[in-house]
Structure 1
């Protein structure tokens, strides 16, 4: 795991394998961003080199310079920030992304120093986060090629004049905790599905929880049957590897709020009898990214010691085509007694989530948030980098969106409209698990809303649904701090929401 520290020593004097600086985009090309801390001679050398290489200073642009005078590090990497805002400084996400792009390019380095604009805790913390997010590689499955693979940067030093400030120190420490657990979520998503399935996922979480403030309970297929969780049992019945619901609980003394997080954990999705095309199955090991995000978020919240009680429900199943696979036309009884007619076995995520939402509702938390790679409709609407948030409560939806924006996770608010519910009417069960083909993102969310219970006052528990089908897995080239493969999307939003509740 990459470590991060903070220092107020001049960045140019730091003995590191590389020094990372930032550039801004100007009419004349790229130039060093303010606050670099270099000597006049070193800064002039870098600016001349930027002009000579025709650097533009655009985001994701990296310029590598060797032997810069009066700089101890043998290599200087200049990462573009884009044009400087006219009325305000660079956003945290801009700094986060530029720092990550640089450390991602420096795999194989032992120590990297980073000096970016901004000295307040929020910006320094964002630089630390980005640097750590970029310092990631999944090498677990390497065999012969492991000898050639470069390990991530081992240590990051963030240089700032405010290094002795308590807020800055806390922000950098938080960045280390957050990145460590987010990278755990990435590892889970990247693990091959023959190795990560419901049982081994549960074992991984239990092992990680050892010695922490998080308690773990695992419901196997017998316990799920006894609990009446027909949705997840129906999805998992076609696999030789039975389903699990893993409950993670963090309950500090004097908690200021209680939250429930539910994560979709389809460890592989073949589509079931409604089989996916072969090309569509290649990335279906990522269909458990929601559960991975929930697990990582709860471990982060616990390690940070936030005064918020959080319970996570990881709804784990494998959607396969075995001899007992679920059929279109089947009727299952969900937790709580509602019956559902199965229409398309490839719409399995909402079934496992329905049971998880019903279980969470029974504890009557202050708010429920579910997170799932749920619909292709979300990708069609919002692309590969933006998730959707829908909710039965306007305040919670807006709160989640604001937290996500602050955390640097792109999210768009979508409505839940009443008319989609009629398309889910069934002639043989309480309702179907699919509806009209149009508005598929809202149809899936509407199905989930059926399993939200009421609080002690008889009102619906505030609930938000995050459809992360787009940003959970990056099939394209790496960018910023985002690697190819599992991204860990959602961890920061879930942690930020708990922090937001802790601050109120």
Structure 2
């Protein structure tokens, strides 16, 4: 989909479909008033018949108006609020897109930028609008015999005031890069685990770097992980025939001596739970346990497309957690790269094991900050549901930055406490630390575990178990989150 920004009078614009917002009570905005004047009151007369009340998400398709050059007019209800909430604005955009996808025209023009949205300027409205439209066109049918028909709609123009053109163009460009990153992350998440394994993710990272001088990729194999002393990482992978990979992406868009920001992604390409086997029902969704790594790859795609002037390192901790005669057992003790020993009480708490060694590896970059992203705990879904990612860390300034990025990107996170009292739940009589802390506060104790390996830098942990994919039903699939949050965080660091 191509997105353009243009300044034009709506009644003079030649397009297959012109989208115009109508307020509840048949209230006309500037664009609707212009169409009404050009059509000598035809639009007002149509609305008075009561075909469209203007409630949020209502639509009415008109086959042209006299005096208006657009072939069709799509009226979309936007409610009675003077300022829409971000959620309502999304609903208006999604309702318009749902109709546009059923039409035959190859192009459309939207005047939705004239709507007022709480806390959103012209840039933020354009960006939010394009992200909704681009993400709404996502389809994953790679393995279906009957492919979805290619939509006729290939170009959308956002109408903007002259004074807002540059801001809207910037918002649309940022949105397209973020949407591209989200689509990449969704594709990786939706792939079946027999294809999407650690070596496959390594190949995808290499393909992303191909032809881009700013991005270099290095893949550390099992031999290298052993040399580094990553005993926890290797313990997760030893039950699988698929070898583990630590994938290092090094993007140098900033000054040579600028310390990088590091993104660490959990990449468990399939999680059976290992010897602590998961229940069979819904286990197919454990292919999404690599969505942390997928989101980092998606963020790097956005980063490359935007060419941001910043240094960023991505570390993807990729392995498959399988039960076998060689698999790690509950009760095993492993030595991490940091030298700390871990008693493995539950092999299904494997994400923190690959992440802890990867966090230690991150020390070599002397980073400005480290953010790890992981589908880490079901407890996070219990606590926050599927709308908000869990956030914890060891530095208040970094936490505030991540929260702000989530608000700006409409990809929110919520901070949970990381008090010292929770650390005691990880005490082990046989090792320095246990890999689980019991049934209470599971999301927090998982972060407590990781915090023991993040003492040498500012660190934040995003638990995306509830937000990385949608479970069950026809809408099942990866969401691409938190690519918008992570990209916004990096955009903020460039200012």
TM-score (norm 1): 0.88
Distance of 2:240 and 2:189 partners within structure 1: 19
Give runs of aligned pairs for residues 131-150 of structure 1, distance below 5 A: 131-143=133-145, 145-146=146-147, 148-150=148-150
SS in structure 2 opposite 1:434?
A: coil
Alignment deviations for residues 462-504 of structure 1 (CA, whole Å, 9 cap, x no partner): 11111111111123679xxxx751111111111111111111x
- Out of 453, 459, 463, the residue aligned to residue 463 of structure 1 is 459
Residue 84 (structure 1) aligned with residue 81 (structure 2): yes
Question: Bigger shift: 385-394 or 72-81?
Answer: 72-81
Q: How many residues align?
A: 482
Measured in 2, the distance between the counterparts of 1:475 and 1:45 equals 43
Unaligned runs of 5+ in 2: 115-120
CA contact (8 A) 1:80 1:98 kept: yes
Name the CA shift for 1:3/1:117 in 2 (closer, same or farther; >3 Å): closer
Give the root-mean-square deviation of aligned CA atoms.
2.6
1:345 pairs, out of 338, 344, 347, with 347
The residue aligned with 2:117 is none
Residue 326 of structure 2 is matched in structure 1 by 324
Query: Comparing 358-367 with 125-134, which one deviates more in the overlay?
Result: 125-134
Query: Does the CA-based 8 Å contact 1:96-1:127 persist in structure 2?
Result: yes
1:314 to partner: Cα distance: 0.9
Would you identify which runs of 4 or more consecutive aligned residues in structure 1 move more than 6 Å? none
Which residue pairs with 1:248 in the alignment?
A: 249
Note if 1:499 corresponds to 2:495.
no
Structure 2 distance, partners of 1:188, 1:169, is: 29
Q: 1:238–1:83: structure 2 CA closer, same or farther, 3 Å change rule?
A: farther
- Larger mean Cα displacement after TM superposition, 315-324 or 110-119: 110-119
Cα distance change, pair 289–96 in 1 and its aligned pair in 2 (3 A): same
Determine if the alignment matches structure 1 residue 98 to structure 2 residue 88.
no
CA–CA distance in structure 1, aligned partners of residues 58 and 43 of structure 2: 16
Residue 306 (str. 1) matches residue 308 (str. 2): yes
Structure-2 residue corresponding to 1:222? 223
**Greater Cα offset, 302-311 or 391-400:** 302-311
How many Å separate the matches in 2 of 1:157 and 1:477?
Answer: 33
Deviation at 1:424, TM superposition (A): 0.9
> Contact conserved, 2:42 with 2:65, CA < 8 A, in 1?
no
Change (3 A) 1:69 1:220: same
Other-structure match for 2:204:
204
Q: What secondary structure does 1:21 align onto?
A: strand
Change (3 A) 1:138 1:73: farther
Aligned residue for 1:115? 111
How many angstroms apart in 2 are the aligned matches of 1:196 and 1:93? 34
| C-alpha distance in structure 1 between counterparts of 2:61 and 2:431, whole Å | 67
Match of 2:7 in 1: 8
Taking a change above 3 Å as real, the CA distance of residues 151 and 426 of structure 1, as seen in their structure-2 partners, is farther
Alignment correspondent of 2:118: none
Partner of 1:173: 173
Cα distance in structure 2, aligned partners of 1:187 and 1:104:
22
Distance in 2 between residues matched to 1:124 and 1:13, nearest whole Å: 22
